[in-house]
Structure 1
Amino acid sequence: MKDLKTCRQEIDEIDAELIRLFEKRMAVSRDVVKYKVEHGMKIFQKEREKEVINKNLARVKNKGLLNYIKNFITNNMNISRAYQASLMPNSPLKIAQPRREGIKVGYQGVPGSFSYQATKKYFGEVNNQNYERFEDVFEALKKNEIDYGVVPLENSSTGAINDNYDFITQYEFFIVGEQQLYISQNLLGVKGAKIEDVKDVYSHPQGLLQTSKFLDEHHIGKHRYRNTAVAAKFVAELNDPTVGAIASSEAAELYGLDILAPGIENDKSNHTRFIVIGRELEAPIDAERISMAFTLRHEVGSLFEVMRIIKDHFINMARIESRPLPGNPWEYCFYVDIDGNLGDYNVLAALQELKVSTDQFRLLGNYERKGV
């Protein structure tokens, strides 16, 4: 039986040989990427990697090591791919200057809605246009009716607004800003009404979700409406003391309603994250958040590889969300937010690796976050 000192000495000698061979392998990888660039080839070659794995597994004599060998080979190829990505020439990003003067901004809802408030907070007093549906805002931006759009993307207590995640990908716009807004929900009623008079309320589905405890405690029926402020307007026009709305205090003032119960949201830290969308990529010097969307090869470890790249570059991942991929059952588009700025070489290197390690990759934006 060998003693520990002898075993360690043998391992040191093997490691030295592994390092020599590793450097030799990476030198060949450098030649490979040069060839791929010259011939317009992708770095990731799925069939070639399968071939390499199977060829090397066939060489293994100790079959008890097969899984370990497979991991060893896969990790080697991942490292090689990352190295090749670092050698790929970066396509210069086309970055536009932010516009804040003489612009028109679109939002969903009516004056008094939370989207309207987010628009005012982010842009100040600016020419704005309201639209009935979220998709109408995207359509207006596509048709050049507006310069920017403001839509909600996620609520701290009820989660993502899935439609808007889908529209970002569908319309291929960029996220150029973020405005967080504290959402205080109120029970509104016509003049002279009391809480006990109200039997039914109207509000956006998010508003109903965010106040579900209060409504259930008071046995009030819930009815969906396309927007909180539009619901307030509807209740004002209906002029029925048994019908109320869940909306903002600003909506109550605008449409002449009483606040029957203020601050009835389930979560007192209730915030909504609104994004500003534009037709061009903007990356101001004080931008601190990067958003991206990508699809993955439908195979073991593909998402782990993305997480590894972010970790290895010491970048903080702030959020990950997945949405079903239309036409591809049980496959998903992933949305990831990381901290960083496109002026940082380390961030650019990470993005280059991510492009290589994903099936389809799209940079959604680098932007400043307000109201955080």
Structure 2
Amino acid sequence: MSDEQTKLGELRDRIDGIDQQIMDLISARARCAQEVAEVKMTYNPGADVFFYRPEREAQVLRRIKEQNPGPLSGEEMARLFREIMSACLALEKPMHIAFLGPAGTFTQAAALKHFGHSVVSVPLAAIDAVFREVESGSAHYGVVPVENSTEGMINHTLDMFMSSPLKICGEVQLRIHHHLLASAETREGEIHRIYSHQQSLAQCRQWLDANRFGIERVPVSSNAEAARRAAEEPGTAAIAGDMAAELYGLEKLAGNIEDRPDNTTRFLIIGRESVGPSGNDKSSILVSMRNKPGALYQLLEPFHRDGISLTRIETRPSPSGTWAYVFYIDFEGHMEEPKVAKVLAEIDEEAVELKRLGSYPVGVL
């Protein structure tokens, strides 16, 4: 046996031993998670016990990224632990996560990124259907898109919060990479139609004008639906992501065709319960002010005075009347923090209506 073979054999033996230690430690962690569930059920008999705590998981993932010794990156290490926590949580009962479907959409990718692959993902046809599924208790949480760095806010999601009792429990940002996809039987020169969601077509407009000018562009309900059609209809292609390509067995004719390389979509996690402070949080509110001069200044001035940073402000028509508006505001901090509570109390005195949509951990992954 050569020196190389001897050294490789020794290293592989070490890896086998380490693998056994990893399995033993993961099993110990899983047993500990089961004990946590047992304690919660023992001290809350008959209650609707929530085993998933967004603030706790955010704290764990942050600590792992900060204390990671390498050589794996902090992001990669946190993703590994995300899956371990997902599997441990599923020992009691896998969570059902509703998302804007069908299967293979970027929203499903965001759901799996946030909750891990041990959940049951439930595709639904529309954003309002996701809200209803969570409100009814059929799903533990829902995942809906709220804004894209290129195309702006998803107004349907904002409007649903006006009437829904659900809370925002988390956020996840997903880098969006679009690919031009077609079936193996479709040749490049045969393509006469390209399917995609209207936002994806807009996000790839410059590339399409430069590289596929003159080919018909047909908007459909989702990128996954576009991929399904491209898989079934000869002479067609789809703009979609990796998950849809794998699901429908499509080949990549061109990759990363989005016009902006930093194209990112932000998704919200919606649920029925409030989330406690995690140490690095964001909050969202809806505010309807009286229609009078200086109303917007009166709304924003308390945030400035108390040093609370706004990360997003949007205006939506109010369902209560013509030319009335509702402000959707994201800001840094948790509503349980004294200075945040003080500002919200001050706004509440002047506003026609203040709806607290929730405080939640800033996205870790």
Q: List aligned pairs for 1:115-154, cutoff 5 A.
A: 115-125=107-117, 126-154=119-147
**Alignment size in residue pairs:** 275
Residue pair 1:283, 1:365 contacting (<8 A) in 2 also: no
The aligned residue for residue 300 of structure 1 is 293
1:114 has 2:91 as partner: no
Q: CA deviation at 1:172?
A: 2.5
Query: Residue 130 of structure 1 aligns to which amino acid in structure 2?
Result: P
String of CA shifts for 1:101-137, please: whole Å, max 9, x gaps.
4321100113321011000010002122111111111
Name which of 220, 224, 242 aligns with 2:219.
224
Q: Which runs of 5+ in 1 are unaligned?
A: 1-95
String of CA shifts for 1:6-60, please: whole Å, max 9, x gaps.
xxxxxxxxxxxxxxxxxxxxxxxxxxxxxxxxxxxxxxxxxxxxxxxxxxxxxxx
The aligned residue for residue 348 of structure 1 is 341
Query: Residue 225 of structure 2 aligns to which amino acid in structure 1?
Result: V
1:193 has 2:186 as partner: yes
Q: CA deviation at 1:173?
A: 1.2
Q: CA deviation at 1:371?
A: 5.0
Aligned-partner Cα distance in 1 for 2:364–2:176: 12
The aligned residue for residue 281 of structure 1 is 274
Aligned-partner Cα distance in 1 for 2:240–2:99: 16
The aligned residue for residue 34 of structure 2 is none
Residue pair 1:98, 1:284 contacting (<8 A) in 2 also: no
Query: Residue 153 of structure 1 aligns to which amino acid in structure 2?
Result: V
Aligned-partner Cα distance in 1 for 2:134–2:200: 26
The aligned residue for residue 96 of structure 2 is 104
The aligned residue for residue 327 of structure 2 is 334
Q: CA deviation at 1:194?
A: 4.3
Query: Residue 99 of structure 2 aligns to which amino acid in structure 1?
Result: Y
Q: Which has the larger radius of gyration?
A: 1
Task: Name the Cα RMSD after superposition.
Answer: 1.7
Structure 2 counterpart SS, 1:370? coil
Normalization by structure 1: what TM-score? Answer: 0.71
Identical aligned residues as a percent? 33
Query: Residue 221 of structure 2 aligns to which amino acid in structure 1?
Result: R
Q: List aligned pairs for 1:1-372, cutoff 5 A.
A: 99=52, 101=89, 102=93, 103-125=95-117, 126-217=119-210, 218-219=212-213, 220-238=215-233, 240=234, 242-370=235-363
Residue pair 1:98, 1:282 contacting (<8 A) in 2 also: no
Could you say if the C-alpha distance between residues 308 and 97 of structure 1 is closer, same or farther in structure 2, counting changes exceeding 3 Å? farther
String of CA shifts for 1:303-326, please: whole Å, max 9, x gaps.
101110100111101110111112
Residue pair 1:297, 1:358 contacting (<8 A) in 2 also: yes
Aligned-partner Cα distance in 2 for 1:155–1:315: 24
Normalization by structure 2: what TM-score? Answer: 0.72
Q: CA deviation at 1:344?
A: 1.8
Query: Residue 227 of structure 1 aligns to which amino acid in structure 2?
Result: S
Residue pair 1:109, 1:230 contacting (<8 A) in 2 also: no
Query: Residue 108 of structure 1 aligns to which amino acid in structure 2?
Result: L
Q: CA deviation at 1:287?
A: 4.5
Q: Which runs of 5+ in 2 are unaligned?
A: 1-48, 54-88
Residue pair 1:207, 1:246 contacting (<8 A) in 2 also: yes
